[in-house]
């Protein structure tokens, strides 16, 4: 493998910060794009991101910080996108340089609202990027634990195993273990769907349901995920692998899960708008619930948990009433 491969990170949030931290362990230089110029100046001066994972200290000599997405894209061979899916299309609209000779990896866990596509499909359909130049970075892994250098695992998915190995190698470290897979579509849908189930877990907690019910909810969630993904992209996969079940569990149970936090607020009686205003980070599962529900109108998978979350978030149905009905549909 070539040792002079150049990487760029697109995004200024917690996942972008965690990925930049991982890359800086293995590379002498990376380009890092973020919109917030004040944050860029802060990092240059104080060596940490003031808004996300502020405990992470960077060697700023390794960072080519920029608020110009074209500069970051032009610099890199491999581009890792780590921004909320709701903002992706707006950021890509700023591009004047081509993506066609770039290798795109997504660390985004959601659906692009403008096209109702997962990120990999969005790049393929809208920007004509071949699937062998598209990859996915998924968990089970929370950025906050990367910041604390707690042992974490990443799954790197790409149709081209050589490219997957390049990314895996450059994200690996003493506390980061990586594995590769060719299930690009399945892992990305799993990363999107698990956020919906985490919202459901949070709602259940907010409504007063205990651990016994949570275990049933998660057990049904992984089976529901399997049915949905099988309808979308049928191939041989083990849904109990860490990229699917593991990612679901950490997002459903962790105190760091923004989706669980969002669901917990809804369960406690917050409106969607007030819960969003109170959170400093985007809950991807909110957008994913609508997209998954709409997509499933065509696929026809049996998805009572997705249906329940959608009805509460988008149809204004009472969470207590919806969950009481949901309990009779789970086993």
Sign of CA dihedral 171, 177, 183, 187: negative
- pTM for this prediction: 0.91
Same-domain pairing of 278 and 156: no
Residue at which a domain ends, from 182, 197, 218:
182
Residue at which a domain ends, from 150, 165, 182:
182
Question: pLDDT category, 86, cuts 50, 70, 90?
Answer: confident
- Which segments are annotated as binding site? 87, 109, 143, 258-259
Which CATH number goes with the domain that contains 255? 1.10.1040.10
Question: pLDDT category, 1, cuts 50, 70, 90?
Answer: very low
Same-domain pairing of 103 and 200: no
Same-domain pairing of 171 and 211: no
Question: pLDDT tens for residues 196-224?
Answer: 999 999 999 999 999 999 999 999 999 99
Same-domain pairing of 172 and 280: no
Question: pLDDT category, 3, cuts 50, 70, 90?
Answer: low
Enter the DSSP assignment of 211. Answer: H
Same-domain pairing of 54 and 158: yes
The pLDDT, as a whole number, for residue 98 is 94
Hey, what are 44's tokens? 């240059």
Which CATH number goes with the domain that contains 124? 3.40.50.720
Contact assessment for residue 329 and residue 304, using Cβ atoms and an 8 Å cutoff: yes
In a domain, 249, yes or no: yes
Same-domain pairing of 205 and 236: yes
Sign of CA dihedral 247, 251, 256, 259: positive
Query: How many separate domains does the chain show?
Result: 2
Question: pLDDT tens for residues 301-319?
Answer: 999 999 999 999 999 999 9
Same-domain pairing of 176 and 239: no
Mean pLDDT computed over 246-275: 94
Provide CB contacts within 8 A for 42, sequence distance 6+.
48, 49, 50
- Which segments are annotated as binding site for NAD(+)? 87, 143, 258
Question: pLDDT tens for residues 189-203?
Answer: 999 999 999 999 999
In a domain, 121, yes or no: yes
Same-domain pairing of 158 and 201: no
In a domain, 322, yes or no: yes
The residues annotated as belonging to the active site are 194
- Which segments are annotated as binding site for substrate? 109, 258-259
How far is Cα 105 from Cα 122, in angstroms, rounded to an integer? 12
Q: Which runs of E-coded beta strand occur in the chain?
A: 7-10, 30-33, 63-66, 78-81, 103-106, 111-112, 117-118, 134-138, 152-158, 176-181
**Of 123-132, 173-182, 282-291, which gets the smallest average pLDDT?**
282-291
Same-domain pairing of 207 and 168: no
Same-domain pairing of 208 and 323: yes
Question: pLDDT category, 89, cuts 50, 70, 90?
Answer: very high
In a domain, 24, yes or no: yes
In a domain, 2, yes or no: no
Q: Strand pairing partners for 33?
A: 10, 66
User: In the predicted model, what is the mean pLDDT of the chain?
Assistant: 94
The pLDDT, as a whole number, for residue 111 is 86
In a domain, 1, yes or no: no
Which structural domain range is residue 176 located in?
A: 7-182
In a domain, 53, yes or no: yes
Question: pLDDT tens for residues 14-60?
Answer: 999 999 999 999 999 999 999 999 999 999 999 999 999 999 999 99
Same-domain pairing of 168 and 285: no
63: three-class secondary structure by DSSP: strand
Residue at which a domain ends, from 182, 208, 235:
182
Same-domain pairing of 316 and 298: yes
For the cut 50, the answer to whether the pLDDT of residue 161 exceeds it is: yes
The pLDDT, as a whole number, for residue 174 is 96
For the cut 80, the answer to whether the pLDDT of residue 2 exceeds it is: no
In a domain, 86, yes or no: yes
């Amino acid at each position: 493998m070539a040792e002079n491969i150049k990487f760029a990170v697109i995004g200024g949030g917690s996942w972008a910060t965690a990925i930049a931290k991982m890359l800086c362990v293995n590379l002498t230089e990376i380009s890092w794009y973020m919109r917030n110029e004040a944050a860029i100046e802060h990092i240059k001066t104080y060596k940490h991101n003031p808004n996300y994972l502020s405990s992470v200290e960077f060697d700023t000599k390794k960072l080519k910080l920029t608020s110009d997405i074209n500069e970051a894209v032009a610099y890199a061979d491999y581009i890792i996108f780590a921004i909320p899916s709701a903002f992706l299309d707006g950021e890509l609209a700023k591009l004047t340089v081509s993506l066609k000779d770039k290798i795109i990896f997504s660390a985004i866990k959601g659906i692009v609202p403008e096209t109702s596509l997962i990120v990999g499909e969005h790049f393929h359909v809208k920007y004509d990027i071949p699937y062998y130049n598209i990859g996915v970075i998924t968990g089970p892994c929370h950025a906050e634990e990367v910041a604390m250098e707690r042992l974490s695992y990443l799954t790197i998915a790409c149709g081209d195993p050589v490219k997957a190995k390049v990314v895996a190698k450059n994200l690996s470290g003493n506390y980061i273990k990586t594995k590769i897979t060719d299930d690009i579509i399945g892992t990305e849908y799993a990363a999107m769907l698990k956020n919906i189930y985490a919202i459901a877990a949070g709602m259940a907690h907010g409504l007063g349901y205990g651990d016994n019910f949570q275990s049933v909810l998660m057990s049904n969630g992984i089976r529901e995920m399997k049915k949905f993904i099988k309808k979308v992209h049928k191939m041989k996969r083990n849904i109990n692998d860490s990229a699917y079940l593991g990612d679901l569990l950490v997002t459903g149970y962790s105190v760091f899960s923004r989706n669980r936090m969002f669901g917990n607020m809804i369960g406690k009686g917050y409106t969607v708008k007030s819960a969003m205003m109170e959170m400093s980070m985007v809950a991807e599962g909110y957008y994913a619930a609508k997209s998954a529900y709409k997509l499933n109108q065509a696929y026809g998978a049996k998805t009572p948990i997705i249906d329940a979350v959608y009805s509460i978030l988008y149809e204004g149905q009472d969470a207590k009433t919806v969950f009481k009905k949901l309990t009779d549909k789970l086993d």
